[in-house]
Amino acid sequence: MRGIYTSVIDIRRKVFTEVARLAYEGGDYAKKIEQLPFKILPGELASYRESIFLERAIIGERLRLAIGLPVRTAAESAPVSDGIEESAIARKYYDPPLINIIKFACHACPENKVVSTNACQGCLAHPCTEVCPKDAIHIINGRSVIDQEKCIQCGRCIDVCPYNAIIHQKRPCAAACGIDAISSDQYGRAKIDYDKCVSCGMCLVNCPFGAIVDKGQIFQMIHAMKEGHRVYAAVAPAFVGQFGPKVTPGKLRAAMKALGFADVIEVAVGADLCATDEAKDFMENVPDKLPFMATSCCPAWSVMAKKLFPEFKDCVSMTLTPMVLTGRLIKLKDPEAKVVFIGPCAAKKLEASRKSVRSDIDFVLTFEEMMGVFEAKNIDLEAMEEEKEVSEASRDGRNFAIAGGVAEAVVNCIKKMYPDQEIKVESAQGLRECKKLMTLAKAGKYNGYLLEGMACPGGCVAGAGTLQAINKSTVAVKQYATSAEYQYCCDTDYLKDLEELGK
């Protein structure tokens, strides 16, 4: 569904816009938020579900989560506004968990089963029955019927059906979860195991019923601006093209300034710092002290690696992520600044809440949430005048947004510092593949390697908070990266900057 403007996306963006508008307008928040479900879904007839009342109840929970408030069950009796006054603050706000399931929005999809569909022609050969090792398929009334109690989902029947009439049904959110953190509750609805979950958000963007939602900080960021704080926008490298094909980096910068941001900084600068430090880290530790080194910039990947392979946690680079390094750089120059990271990633919200990071990054918004802020203020991004940006970000730093870009940047940096050094690299996209990568590393296959992991297939351009198709983003980022003044991060004096930042 990525890159397709669906009803789920439409509702999500309307919610973000109304939350931003609510924060800007102020007034009686409790009264206004109770009216918003009726504004977003007017009329008496349901558009998407069996009841307009159910639709509005789900919108109510979406509004609460966008403000940072906890999701409720259908059994709880409380107004949508419960807790909203306490959330109207100019600092980071939400209690874990970050990723939530609105239970009464969940369709209780089949968890995992092989089914024979109406496309079955009742053929004479019926190879499906012949290959089934458990005698789970029988011909009833001329068609194949699968006994779910016997079926082991081996897939042999799927492979041999000449009509492609047999399919393997999986719950979309569970299929998208690379670490198997989603199962079913007693009612068959999706349930997240938060001991496993790393908040990558892939379940969120793959649920066709819009039942999975992450918490937001739009409300609090706008309050910080309204209270007169100097708020800086740190924009992730994946931003290119996210707000429309005609919205250039210069127009986006002008639009950000029109909203009231003190300045707009490319996180690609922090990516250059990250690559420089990881290159130094790799050369100092591999293979003498560590068998391999894994990149650290993707928080979902690094948390997964440390959770599932704790004996190799020291092999994940200790380098701070581009987001954190950029935040530190901004606050080094302006100690009173508040920094909002604007990017594609849900997991960055969790990263920014860590005790070691929370002083560097004050808020995290996705591109999708940021679009809601623009729409709330009626800002026409395409009509903005170009504002020239002065950025020392390199081509490599900007390419951090695409799969393979992080490792390439680190390798290029090592080659600049140590021209004769050969670096072996292996990478993986998607947490399921990342898990396989670490399993092979544990077995010793990647000793001496630099390992790059990206939780989202395609890299950051495929994050849960992106606005456009992954392939379009990849092309746009690559084109923008070629316009950088520097090719490699080591073309600039980043080692000095790292010393200043306490690295």
What pLDDT band is residue 486 in, cutting at 50, 70 and 90? confident
Cβ atoms of 2 and 56 within 8 Å: the answer is no
Average pLDDT, the chain: 94
Q: Where are the beta strands (DSSP E) in 255-315?
A: 263-266, 293-294
Res 503: pLDDT: 55
Residue 26: how many other CB atoms lie within 10 Å: 12
Q: What is the dihedral of CA 356, 458, 329, 228, to 10 degrees?
A: -90
Res 12: pLDDT: 96
Report, as an integer, the average pLDDT of 3-13.
93
Whether 176 has a pLDDT exceeding 70, the answer reads yes
Residue 59: how many other CB atoms lie within 10 Å: 23
What pLDDT band is residue 407 in, cutting at 50, 70 and 90? very high
Res 441: pLDDT: 98
Q: Quick one: what percent of the chain has pLDDT higher than 70?
A: 97
What pLDDT band is residue 418 in, cutting at 50, 70 and 90? confident
What pLDDT band is residue 331 in, cutting at 50, 70 and 90? very high
Q: Give pLDDT tens digits for 183-242.
A: 999 999 999 999 999 999 999 999 999 999 999 999 999 999 999 999 999 999 999 999
Whether 114 has a pLDDT exceeding 60, the answer reads yes
Res 3: pLDDT: 78
Report, as an integer, the average pLDDT of 124-135.
96
* DSSP letter string, 277-294: HHHHHHHHHTTTT-S-EE
Res 495: pLDDT: 56
Res 496: pLDDT: 63
Angle made by CA atoms 434, 435, 439, in degrees to the nearest 5? 115
What pLDDT band is residue 494 in, cutting at 50, 70 and 90? low
Res 492: pLDDT: 64
Among candidates 350, 347, 274, which has minimal Cα distance to 317? Answer: 274
What pLDDT band is residue 329 in, cutting at 50, 70 and 90? very high
pTM, full prediction? 0.93
Whether 344 has a pLDDT exceeding 90, the answer reads yes
Among candidates 71, 66, 20, which has minimal Cα distance to 216? Answer: 66
